[in-house]
C-alpha cells in the first residue's frame, strides 16, 4: 500500500520533491515527563485543552507527549488539520479510545461509527437534519423559545435570579428531544429532571475518563461508585429512549402514512430499520437517538453561554444585536417567521465570532486508520493525533486584533477584498464528518438570542471572577458572571 503524505504546505496533494529522511513520532519535540507515567499528571486536568495549547506555544505546531508507554501526536497546523479531517473515514478515523468511552456510555451511533457503517448512518442522519426538517419543526421551536422567555420573565417578576447556564441546557435538551424524538419532555420547567441530570453526569464522567491514563473502570475490582453510577445513568437513558422508540412504533402502526413522511428523526430511523436488508437494528436507532442528545445539547447551550458572556462586557455589540432584533421581530415576542432567521445577520456574526474565540470543541482526537506521513514524520496506523483547532487559527491568524471580540469582522462586506475569516476555522469540524446539526444549532441560537435581546439586558456582576474554561468533553464556562435584568422599551 502507498503511504499517504500530508504536508503543511500542500496538504498531501501534488508532487513530492526529494525529502530529508523521515522522522519518527518519538523524534518530535515535546514536554518532559516522568519515566513511568510520562505526561499523565499534566494532562489529568479540567483544563486539559489549555495544557495542550500551551505546549503548542512552547514546542511548535507538531509535537508529541506520552502517557505511560503510549505516545500521542499533536498538530496545530491548519492545512494539516484540514487534510486529516478531509481524509475520513478511510485514512483517518475518530480516536478509538474516545469512541470506546462514548460507546460504553450508550452513545453508539454516527459519531463513533466508521467505514461503511458510518456512510450508511450518515445518509440517514443527514436526512433528519436538513433545513426543510427544521422548517417543519419551526412552530415547535418558537413555542419552546416562548417557554424560555416566560420562565425568565416570571423569575424576574418574582425578584428571583435566573440560572442562565442551567436554563440554556434545558432549552437545548428540550429542542433536541423534540426534533429527534417528537416528545416534549419539558426539562426547562421540571426543577430536577432525571434525564437531564443523568446526561450532565455522564458528560462529566466522560471528560474525567478522557484524561486519566488507565481505564481502571474496566477492571471489576477497581470500579468506583461513580463508575457504577455512570453505568446506571447510561442504562436509565437507554431505557427512556427505548420508551420513545416504543411510542414512535405505536404512532407508525396507528398511522401508516407516517412511513412515507416521518414526522421526526426517530420515526425516520425506525422506517429505515424496518426496510428489508437495511442493516439497521433497534440498537442502531437507540444509539443514534442518544448520539443526537449528546451531540446537540451541551454544544449548543455552551456556544450560547460563551456568546452571552461576551455580550455582557461588550455593550455596543449587545445594543447592535438588540436593534437588529427589534427590526426583525417587530411586535412579536419571539421569532415566529422562519424566514426571519436569515435576516438576523448580526446575531449570526456575533455567534461566529464567539465560536472563534471560545469554540466548544477547541480540539479533536483522530487516529490514523493506515500508515501515513505528516510533515516528514512517519505515522503508524493506530497513532492518535490531537488536532488543536482553536490554537491553529490563533497561531496562523491574519486578523486585525485577533484577541478582540469584534462581530463586525464576520459581517458581509467587512474588510473589502479580504477573505471570509470563518474559512480558516473549525467550530463545526470539517470534511465529510462536518457537524450535521449545524443548521439546527444556528437556528436555536438565533431564536434564543433574539428573544433574550428583545426582552432582557445582561449586567455583569461587579467583582465576580471571569468565566473559566472547563473541559467537560465540550468546553464549558464554569459560571457566568452576569445577571439578567428586564430591558426597558426604547424611549422609556
Residues forming the site for ligand HEM (CB under 6 A): 85, 110-111, 122, 125, 176, 291-292, 295-296, 299-300, 303, 360-361, 427-431, 433-437, 440-441
To 10 degrees, what angle do helices 164-181 and 225-254 make? Answer: 40
Which residues are registered as beta bridge partners of 368?
Answer: 92
Residue closer to ligand HEM by CB (options 233, 290) is 290
Q: What's phi and psi for 420, nearest 5 deg?
A: -65, 120
Residue closer to ligand HEM by CB (options 42, 92) is 92
Instruction: Give the residue among 209, 197, 265, 181 at the shortest CA–CA distance from 234.
Output: 197
Q: How far is the CB of 440 from ligand HEM (least distance, A)?
A: 5
Task: Please give the angle made by the CA atoms of 408, 50 and 205, to the nearest 5 degrees.
Answer: 110
Residue closer to ligand HEM by CB (options 286, 440) is 440
Q: How far is the CB of 128 from ligand HEM (least distance, A)?
A: 9
Q: How far is the CB of 90 from ligand HEM (least distance, A)?
A: 14
Q: How far is the CB of 435 from ligand HEM (least distance, A)?
A: 3
| DSSP for residue 2 | P
Q: What is the helix (H) or strand (E) element at residue 203, kind and residue range?
A: helix 194-210
CA distances from 95 to 202, 341, 371, 429 (A): 19, 36, 15, 15
Q: How far is the CB of 95 from ligand HEM (least distance, A)?
A: 11
Q: How far is the CB of 111 from ligand HEM (least distance, A)?
A: 4
Q: How far is the CB of 304 from ligand HEM (least distance, A)?
A: 8
What lies within 8 Å, CB to CB, of 195 at 6+ separation is 173, 185, 187, 236, 237, 240
Place of cell 427512556: 240
Q: Is-cis flag, bond preceding 266, omega within 30?
A: no
HSE of 87 in the Cβ direction (CA atoms, 13 Å)?
Answer: 22
Q: How far is the CB of 429 from ligand HEM (least distance, A)?
A: 2
Start-to-end Cα distance in the chain? 73
Q: How far is the CB of 315 from ligand HEM (least distance, A)?
A: 24
Q: How far is the CB of 362 from ligand HEM (least distance, A)?
A: 10
The neighbour count for residue 26, using CB atoms within 10 Å, is 10
Residue closer to ligand HEM by CB (options 177, 482) is 177
Q: How far is the CB of 26 from ligand HEM (least distance, A)?
A: 27
Residue closer to ligand HEM by CB (options 142, 303) is 303
CA torsion sign for 86, 89, 91, 93 is positive
d(CA 331, CA 448): 16
Task: Identify whether the C-beta of residue 372 lies closer than 8 Å to the C-beta of residue 379.
Answer: yes
Residue closer to ligand HEM by CB (options 98, 383) is 98
Q: How far is the CB of 292 from ligand HEM (least distance, A)?
A: 4
Grid cell listed for 303: 456556544
Pairing verdict, β 469-472 and 384-388: unpaired
d(CA 250, CA 211): 42
d(CA 325, CA 342): 12
HSE of 27 in the Cβ direction (CA atoms, 13 Å)?
Answer: 9
Residue closer to ligand HEM by CB (options 351, 383) is 351
Residue closer to ligand HEM by CB (options 292, 341) is 292
Q: What DSSP assignment string belongs to 257-287? A: GGGTS-SSHHHHHHHHHHSTT----HHHHHH
What distance lies between CA 77 and its chain's CA centroid? 21
Residue closer to ligand HEM by CB (options 402, 429) is 429
Q: What's phi and psi for 471, nearest 5 deg?
A: -90, 100
Residue closer to ligand HEM by CB (options 372, 445) is 445
Amino acid at each position: 500500500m502507498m503511504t499517504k503524505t500530508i504536508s503543511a504546505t500542500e496538504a498531501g496533494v501534488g508532487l513530492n520533491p526529494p525529502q530529508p529522511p523521515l522522522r519518527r513520532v518519538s523524534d518530535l519535540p515535546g514536554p518532559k515527563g516522568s519515566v513511568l507515567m510520562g505526561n499523565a499528571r499534566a494532562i489529568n486536568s479540567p483544563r486539559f485543552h489549555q495544557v495542550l495549547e500551551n505546549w503548542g506555544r512552547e514546542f511548535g505546531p507538531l509535537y508529541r507527549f506520552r502517557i505511560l508507554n503510549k505516545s500521542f501526536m499533536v498538530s496545530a497546523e491548519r492545512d494539516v488539520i484540514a487534510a486529516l479531517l478531509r481524509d475520513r473515514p478511510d485514512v483517518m478515523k475518530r480516536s478509538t479510545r474516545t469512541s470506546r468511552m462514548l460507546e460504553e456510555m450508550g452513545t453508539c451511533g454516527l459519531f463513533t461509527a466508521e467505514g461503511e457503517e458510518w456512510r450508511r448512518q450518515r445518509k440517514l442522519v443527514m436526512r433528519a437534519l436538513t433545513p426543510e426538517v427544521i422548517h417543519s419543526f419551526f412552530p415547535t421551536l418558537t413555542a419552546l423559545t416562548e417557554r424560555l422567555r416566560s420562565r425568565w420573565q416570571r423569575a424576574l417578576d418574582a425578584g428571583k435570579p435566573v440560572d442562565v447556564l442551567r436554563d440554556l441546557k434545558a432549552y437545548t435538551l428540550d429542542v433536541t428531544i423534540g426534533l429527534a424524538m417528537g416528545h416534549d419532555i419539558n426539562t426547562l420547567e421540571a426543577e430536577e429532571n432525571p434525564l437531564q441530570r443523568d446526561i450532565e453526569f455522564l458528560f462529566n464522567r466522560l471528560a474525567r475518563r478522557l484524561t486519566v491514563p488507565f481505564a481502571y473502570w474496566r477492571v471489576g475490582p477497581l470500579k468506583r461508585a461513580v463508575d457504577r453510577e455512570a453505568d446506571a445513568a447510561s442504562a436509565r437513558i437507554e431505557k427512556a429512549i427505548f420508551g420513545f422508540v416504543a411510542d414512535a412504533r405505536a404512532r407508525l402502526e396507528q398511522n401508516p402514512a407516517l412511513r412515507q413522511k416521518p414526522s421526526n428523526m426517530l420515526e425516520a430511523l425506525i422506517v429505515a430499520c424496518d426496510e428489508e436488508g437495511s442493516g439497521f437494528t433497534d440498537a442502531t436507532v437507540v444509539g443514534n437517538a442518544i448520539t443526537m442528545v449528546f451531540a446537540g445539547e451541551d454544544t449548543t447551550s455552551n456556544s450560547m453561554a460563551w456568546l452571552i458572556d461576551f455580550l455582557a462586557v461588550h455593550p455596543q455589540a449587545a445594543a447592535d444585536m438588540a436593534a437588529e432584533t427589534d427590526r426583525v421581530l417587530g411586535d412579536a415576542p419571539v421569532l415566529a417567521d422562519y424566514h426571519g432567521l436569515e435576516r438576523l445577520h448580526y446575531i449570526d456574526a456575533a455567534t461566529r465570532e464567539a465560536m472563534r474565540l471560545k469554540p466548544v470543541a477547541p480540539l479533536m482526537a483522530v487516529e490514523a486508520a493506515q500508515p501515513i506521513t505528516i510533515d516528514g514524520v512517519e505515522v503508524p496506523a493506530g497513532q492518535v493525533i490531537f488536532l488543536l483547532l482553536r490554537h491553529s487559527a490563533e497561531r496562523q491568524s491574519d486578523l486585525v486584533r485577533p484577541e478582540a471580540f469584534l462581530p463586525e469582522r464576520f459581517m458581509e462586506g467587512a474588510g473589502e477584498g479580504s477573505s471570509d475569516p470563518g474559512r480558516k476555522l473549525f467550530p463545526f469540524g470539517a470534511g465529510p464528518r462536518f457537524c450535521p446539526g449545524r443548521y439546527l444549532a444556528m437556528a436555536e441560537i438565533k431564536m434564543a438570542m433574539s428573544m433574550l435581546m428583545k426582552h432582557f439586558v445582561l449586567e455583569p456582576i461587579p467583582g465576580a471572577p471571569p468565566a473559566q474554561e472547563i473541559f467537560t468533553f465540550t468546553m464549558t464556562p464554569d459560571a457566568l458572571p452576569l445577571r439578567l435584568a428586564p430591558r426597558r422599551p426604547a424611549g422609556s
